[in-house]
């Protein structure tokens, strides 16, 4: 067999590389420009922190001081003490005597039935469609904003790591995944930073990485990383980007895109909720639940619907941590509060496991082994 060997001169190689890079840059420019998100003109200044708000200052990579606002959970539900912003995840920079928003999470939102505003009757009377129903990934929130036109700041809900790629912090692991996602579509940090900077927005993603830490539901290696599920304007009042645009941004910059459906009326949402509670799945996947985005009084509004099976699984994790902590302190934990009847069986199973195989639980509170423990218990229950 004759093998043909093609030799390319250095000059032609250089021309090809130049052409290839030009094509990539052209495609990048076109894909970024194709994203349909308007700039939002509204104040991004907030008043100084009040007594019921805890603030922590962080020094960014460019030596700017950013302030993280952490508000007591009970305040979000209170109508007696109105907040300048209900953002859960809020960073500001102090300039010219005012605090300017630089990172903005979602307004705090609640599960169905948790507040007066999240009753089905309230939805029917006070909300407007369409209702975008998004799959709720089971990880931790990561917020992505721009420090400048060339660099990004990646934070958790309330913290910015001293070193941006700190492998032990949520934000650091989130940043590493962000770099991987960008590289997968031939994008750079500068590409994303420049776009975010000029739009004055925050990307909201879910970090799902079982190697870093387990939550309740399992993510196989191929499905680990950052799931983009929201884009918020850096404004005092809550303004978020439509889901079709969020999906477009995810595709352009290499994130896992949001999975969602759009329903025209609240009855469709309620029917979907009942089906999810029956199958414990949404769009064919086992889920934590869904987030529903709509309008209320003409403004952006959202609520969540947690799956009951997920809540049962989460209770296993909670009681395990309580019992292990009590064992360390040599206390009795038999009177652990339980919401679900099956949790009593789980506690009996867990107590037996502690006696027979204590090493199995040595890394549990480091968020390792949570999923396999739950699976083993469920398997045993089904075999009885």
Q: Do 222 and 143 fall into the same domain? A: yes
pLDDT confidence of residue 81: 55
What is the pLDDT confidence band of residue 8, given thresholds at 50, 70 and 90?
A: very low
Q: Do 188 and 316 fall into the same domain? A: no
Range name among 46-55, 317-326, 372-381 with the lowest pLDDT average? 46-55
Q: Do 233 and 290 fall into the same domain? A: yes
pLDDT confidence of residue 54: 78
pLDDT confidence of residue 44: 57
What is the pLDDT confidence band of residue 155, given thresholds at 50, 70 and 90?
A: very high
Range among 24-38, 55-69, 250-264 rated most confident: 250-264
- On the question of pLDDT at 80 being above 70, the answer is no
| Within a domain: 154 | yes
Higher pLDDT: 374 or 334? It is 374
| Within a domain: 15 | no
Environment class of 57 (CB within 10 Å of its CB; exposed 0-12, middle 13-18, buried 19+):
exposed
Range name among 18-27, 154-163, 271-280 with the lowest pLDDT average? 18-27
pLDDT confidence of residue 240: 96
User: Which of 68, 67, 29, 40 lies closest to 239 in space, CA to CA?
Assistant: 40
Distances (CA, A) of 130 to 137, 267, 368: 21, 12, 40
Q: Do 314 and 302 fall into the same domain? A: no
- On the question of pLDDT at 5 being above 50, the answer is no
Q: Do 295 and 379 fall into the same domain? A: no
- On the question of pLDDT at 211 being above 70, the answer is yes
- The residues pairing with 289 across neighbouring beta strands, listed in sequence order, are 136, 306
| Within a domain: 25 | no
Residue bearing tokens 């007591």: 72
| Within a domain: 260 | yes
- Please report, for the domain that includes residue 265, its CATH number: 3.30.470.30
Count of domains forming the chain: 2
Residue bearing tokens 């505003």: 117
Q: Is 136 a catalytic residue?
A: yes
Q: Do 112 and 247 fall into the same domain? A: yes
Q: pLDDT tens digits for 58-75?
A: 999 999 999 998 877 777
| Within a domain: 20 | no
The residue out of 262, 289, 306 marking a domain boundary is 306
Range name among 214-223, 261-270, 271-280, 334-343 with the lowest pLDDT average? 334-343
Higher pLDDT: 140 or 97? It is 140
pLDDT confidence of residue 328: 65
Q: Do 299 and 324 fall into the same domain? A: no
Q: Do 365 and 275 fall into the same domain? A: no
Q: Do 191 and 241 fall into the same domain? A: yes
- On the question of pLDDT at 79 being above 70, the answer is no
Tokens for 14, please give them: 């250089």
Q: pLDDT tens digits for 169-187?
A: 999 999 999 999 999 999 9
pLDDT confidence of residue 60: 93
Residue bearing tokens 């009855």: 267
Q: Do 297 and 273 fall into the same domain? A: yes
pLDDT confidence of residue 86: 84
Range name among 20-34, 147-161, 257-271 with the lowest pLDDT average? 20-34
pLDDT confidence of residue 21: 44
Q: What is the spatial distance between Cα 123 and Cα 112, in angstroms, rounded to a whole number?
A: 10
- Among 28, 86, 136, 334, which one carries the catalytic annotation? 136
Distances (CA, A) of 132 to 3, 227, 301, 319, 350: 57, 17, 11, 34, 40
Handedness of CA 346, 351, 354, 356 (dihedral sign): negative
| Within a domain: 118 | yes
Q: Give the chain's length.
A: 384
* Average pLDDT for 26-33: 59
Q: Do 335 and 278 fall into the same domain? A: no
Share above pLDDT 70 across residues of the chain, in percent, rounded to a whole number: 82
Q: Do 295 and 324 fall into the same domain? A: no
Tokens for 285, please give them: 């996947």
What is the pLDDT confidence band of residue 357, given thresholds at 50, 70 and 90?
A: very high
| Within a domain: 146 | yes
Higher pLDDT: 237 or 2? It is 237
pLDDT confidence of residue 55: 85
| Structural domain range at position 339 | 309-383
230 by DSSP, 3-state: which?
strand
The 10 Å Cβ neighbour count of residue 82 is 8
What rounded mean pLDDT belongs to the chain?
A: 87
- On the question of pLDDT at 42 being above 80, the answer is no
Radius of gyration of the chain measured on its C-alpha atoms: 24
The residue out of 281, 306, 331 marking a domain boundary is 306
Q: Is residue 129 within 8 Å of 200, Cβ to Cβ?
A: no
Tokens for 210, please give them: 């079982």
The residue out of 306, 340, 371 marking a domain boundary is 306
- On the question of pLDDT at 97 being above 70, the answer is yes
| Within a domain: 258 | yes
Share above pLDDT 90 across residues of the chain, in percent, rounded to a whole number: 72
């Amino acid at each position: 067999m004759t093998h043909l060997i093609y030799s390319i001169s250095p000059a032609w190689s250089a021309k090809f590389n130049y052409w290839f890079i030009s094509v990539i840059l052209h495609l990048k420019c076109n894909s970024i420009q194709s994203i349909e998100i308007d700039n939002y003109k509204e104040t991004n200044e907030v008043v100084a922190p009040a007594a019921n708000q805890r603030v922590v200052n962080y020094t960014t990579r460019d030596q700017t001081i950013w302030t993280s606002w952490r508000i007591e959970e009970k305040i979000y539900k209170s109508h007696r003490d109105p907040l300048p912003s209900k953002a859960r995840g809020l960073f500001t920079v102090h300039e010219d005597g005012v605090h300017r928003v630089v990172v903005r999470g979602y307004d705090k939102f609640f599960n169905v039935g948790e507040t007066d505003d999240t009753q089905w009757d309230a939805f029917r009377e006070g909300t407007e469609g369409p209702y975008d129903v998004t799959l709720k990934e089971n990880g931790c929130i990561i917020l992505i904003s721009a420090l400048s036109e060339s660099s990004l700041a990646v934070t958790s809900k309330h913290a910015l790591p001293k070193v941006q790629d700190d492998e032990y912090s949520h934000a650091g692991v989130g940043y590493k995944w962000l770099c991987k996602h960008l590289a997968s579509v031939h994008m750079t940090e500068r590409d994303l930073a420049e776009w975010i900077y000029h739009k004055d927005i925050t990307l909201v993603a879910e970090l799902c990485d079982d190697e870093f830490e387990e939550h309740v539901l399992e993510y196989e290696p191929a499905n680990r990383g950052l799931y983009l599920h929201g884009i918020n304007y850096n404004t005092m009042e809550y303004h978020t980007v439509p889901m079709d645009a969020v999906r477009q941004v995810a595709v352009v910059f290499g994130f896992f895109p949001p999975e969602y459906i759009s329903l025209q009326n609240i009855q469709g949402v309620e029917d979907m909720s009942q089906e999810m509670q029956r199958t414990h799945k949404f769009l064919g996947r086992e889920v934590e639940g869904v987030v529903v985005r709509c309008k209320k009084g003409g403004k952006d509004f959202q609520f969540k619907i947690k799956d009951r099976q997920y809540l049962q699984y989460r209770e296993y994790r909670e009681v395990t941590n309580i019992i292990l902590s009590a064992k360390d302190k040599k206390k009795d934990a038999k009177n652990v509060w339980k919401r679900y009847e099956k949790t009593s069986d789980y506690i009996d199973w867990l107590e037996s496991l502690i006696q027979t195989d204590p090493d199995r639980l040595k890394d549990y509170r480091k968020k390792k082994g949570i999923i396999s423990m739950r699976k083993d218990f469920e398997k045993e229950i089904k075999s009885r």
